């Protein structure tokens, strides 16, 4: 029997093209997440499901799909929405899309560094509000980053790519994380392994690249923010809940730290009300991987993962 392949969100055309003739294919035509009931009825009887980060993949999902389910392919590198041990226990393969979004996401991380340190969004708002201005030696001064230190929390692929950009801009790099990187990578990045405490105390810009997990939820809270320099900036391009947004808003309002750049939020698509009036935070709507090229590569990789498992082959980028 032809395998049933369910795609829970509209995908870029090259990814859909790969699915042509691959089986009994159902693709959601929505750009929004399916609600619980829609999802349950869409995935019933599926052999493969291609999902996005807002679909909860848990025991309920597995029950709704049924025992023939072989693979769940996430169109994202992060998978805090997925109960991987539950899938493994039921013999379901799980895949994500590492590698293809590394540069796009590091570009956004470093864009946020430049935007917040050089006050670019604030300057844009000033012009668009038709506020009178004139060039003078003290007008809208930002903070230079050359010779300053970037602290990378979690030196995975995206962290390393962000560090490369920092080096090109003349920054020193320190990093913290559960594991020390191999020597060759440290040498290439000129990166020094430090404790999280030391990173917070010394970095001029702290950029978060660790995945969201029970250990990293609210990793940055009021206490951690107080450990940072008052002149320092925080960048978050990983997952919103790694930062306690209410504590961050308060720290930004009271000058505990100098500024922040956020691409992700605790309760997306909501943004904490207390952040919105602040000029020292740059807010962008989860654009890390949002290029035509990257989204196409993510969709294609996810579909290749799903098809490989359905056909009995090894998926290119498995998680379990
Ligand atoms: C997007 O946020 C991803 O995890 O790929």
Which CATH number is 135's domain given? 3.40.50.720
Q: Given the CA of residue 239, which atom of ligand 1 is nearest to it?
A: 2
pLDDT digits 0-9 by tens, 87-144:
999 999 999 999 999 999 999 999 999 999 999 999 999 999 999 999 999 999 999 9
Spatial distance between the Cα atoms of 61 and 310, rounded to a whole number of angstroms: 19
Number of domains in the chain: 2
Say if residue 155 is in the same domain as residue 229.
Answer: yes
Say if residue 108 is in the same domain as residue 60.
Answer: no
> Structure tokens of 149?
């230190």
Q: Given the CA of residue 286, which atom of ligand 1 is nearest to it?
A: 2
Say if residue 110 is in the same domain as residue 256.
Answer: yes
The alpha carbon of 105 and the centre of ligand 1 are apart by a number of angstroms equal to 9
Domain that includes residue 173, residue range:
102-283
Question: What is the predicted pLDDT for the residue at 182?
Answer: 96
The alpha carbon of 251 and the centre of ligand 1 are apart by a number of angstroms equal to 27
Question: What is the predicted pLDDT for the residue at 135?
Answer: 96
Domain assignment of residue 188, yes or no: yes
Task: Please list the alpha-helical segments (H only) found in 177-281.
Answer: 183-189, 196-202, 222-227, 245-253
The alpha carbon of 97 and the centre of ligand 1 are apart by a number of angstroms equal to 8
User: Is residue 176 lining ligand 1, measured as CB closer than 6 Å?
Assistant: no
The alpha carbon of 74 and the centre of ligand 1 are apart by a number of angstroms equal to 9
Predicted confidence (pLDDT) at residue 225 exceeds the cutoff of 90 = yes
User: Is residue 289 lining ligand 1, measured as CB closer than 6 Å?
Assistant: yes
Domain assignment of residue 36, yes or no: yes
User: Is residue 101 lining ligand 1, measured as CB closer than 6 Å?
Assistant: yes
Predicted confidence (pLDDT) at residue 31 exceeds the cutoff of 90 = no
The average confidence (pLDDT) of the chain is: 97
Say if residue 110 is in the same domain as residue 29.
Answer: no
Q: Given the CA of residue 264, which atom of ligand 1 is nearest to it?
A: 2
Say if residue 29 is in the same domain as residue 12.
Answer: yes
Interval 5-11 mean pLDDT: 96
- Taking CA atoms, 256 is separated from 192, 225, 233, 261, 265, in Å, by 26, 7, 10, 15, 20
Say if residue 258 is in the same domain as residue 130.
Answer: yes
Q: In what order do the strands lie in the sheet with 71-74?
A: 24-27, 4-7, 48-51, 71-74, 93-95
Q: Which residues pair with 151 in a beta bridge?
A: 174, 206
Spatial distance between the Cα atoms of 91 and 70, rounded to a whole number of angstroms: 7
What does DSSP assign to residue 49? E
Question: What is the predicted pLDDT for the residue at 223?
Answer: 98
Interval 31-42 mean pLDDT: 93
Q: Given the CA of residue 79, which atom of ligand 1 is nearest to it?
A: 4
The alpha carbon of 289 and the centre of ligand 1 are apart by a number of angstroms equal to 7
Task: Please list the alpha-helical segments (H only) found in the chain.
Answer: 13-19, 36-43, 59-65, 84-89, 102-117, 120-128, 157-168, 183-189, 196-202, 222-227, 245-253, 292-310
Question: What is the predicted pLDDT for the residue at 138?
Answer: 97
Say if residue 241 is in the same domain as residue 299.
Answer: no
Question: What is the predicted pLDDT for the residue at 280?
Answer: 98
The alpha carbon of 111 and the centre of ligand 1 are apart by a number of angstroms equal to 17
> Structure tokens of 19?
């699915």
User: Is residue 76 lining ligand 1, measured as CB closer than 6 Å?
Assistant: yes
Predicted confidence (pLDDT) at residue 291 exceeds the cutoff of 90 = yes
Domain assignment of residue 319, yes or no: no
Statement: the pTM of the whole predicted model exceeds 0.75: yes
Taking Cα atoms as reference points, which of 205, 212, 237, 210 lies closest to residue 107? 237
Say if residue 67 is in the same domain as residue 116.
Answer: no
Going by pLDDT thresholds of 50, 70 and 90, the confidence category of residue 54 is confident
User: Is residue 240 lining ligand 1, measured as CB closer than 6 Å?
Assistant: no
Say if residue 140 is in the same domain as residue 266.
Answer: yes
Please identify every residue annotated as catalytic.
Answer: 239, 268, 286
Say if residue 23 is in the same domain as residue 36.
Answer: yes
Interval 264-275 mean pLDDT: 97
Q: In what order do the strands lie in the sheet with 172-176?
A: 191-193, 172-176, 149-153, 205-208, 233-236, 259-262, 281-283
Say if residue 113 is in the same domain as residue 81.
Answer: no
Q: Which is more confident, 125 or 29?
A: 125
Interval 185-201 mean pLDDT: 98
Question: What is the predicted pLDDT for the residue at 53?
Answer: 83
Residue with tokens 């590569």: 297
Say if residue 196 is in the same domain as residue 136.
Answer: yes
User: Is residue 49 lining ligand 1, measured as CB closer than 6 Å?
Assistant: no
Least confident of 23-37, 146-160, 222-236: 23-37
Question: What is the predicted pLDDT for the residue at 1?
Answer: 83
Predicted confidence (pLDDT) at residue 79 exceeds the cutoff of 90 = yes
Mutate to test the pocket of ligand 1, among 264, 288, 295, 297 (most ligand atoms within 8 A of CB): 288
């Amino acid at each position: 029997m032809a395998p049933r392949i369910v795609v829970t969100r509209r995908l870029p055309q090259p990814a859909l093209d790969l699915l042509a003739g691959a089986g009994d294919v159902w693709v959601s035509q929505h750009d929004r997440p399916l609600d619980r009931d829609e999802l349950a009825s869409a995935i019933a009887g599926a052999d493969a499901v291609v999902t996005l980060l807002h679909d909860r993949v848990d025991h309920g999902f597995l029950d709704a799909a049924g025992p023939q389910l072989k693979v769940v392919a996430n169109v994202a590198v992060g998978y805090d929405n997925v109960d991987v041990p539950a899938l493994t226990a039921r013999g379901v393969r799980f895949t994500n899309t590492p590698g293809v979004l590394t540069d796009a996401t590091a570009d956004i991380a470093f864009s946020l560094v430049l935007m917040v340190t050089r006050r670019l969004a604030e300057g844009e708002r000033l012009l668009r509000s038709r506020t009178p201005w004139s060039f003078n030696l003290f007008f809208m001064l930002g903070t230079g980053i050359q010779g300053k230190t970037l602290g990378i929390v979690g030196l995975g692929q995206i962290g390393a790519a962000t560090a490369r950009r920092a080096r090109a801009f003349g920054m020193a790099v320190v990093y913290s994380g559960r594991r020390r990187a191999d020597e060759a990578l440290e040498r290439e990045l000129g990166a020094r392994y430090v404790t999280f405490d030391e990173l917070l105390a010394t970095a001029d810009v702290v950029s978060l690249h660790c995945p969201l997990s029970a250990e990293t939820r609210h990793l940055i809270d009021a206490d951690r923010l107080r450990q940072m320099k008052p002149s320092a900036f925080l960048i978050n391009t990983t997952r919103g809940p790694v930062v306690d947004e209410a504590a961050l808003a308060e720290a930004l309002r009271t000058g505990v730290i100098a500024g922040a750049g956020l691409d992700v939020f605790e309760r997306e698509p909501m943004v904490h009300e207390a952040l919105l009036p602040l000029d020292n935070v740059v807010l962008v709507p989860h654009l890390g991987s949002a290029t035509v090229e990257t989204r196409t590569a993510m969709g294609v990789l996810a579909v290749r993962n799903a098809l490989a498992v359905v056909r009995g082959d090894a998926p290119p980028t498995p998680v379990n």
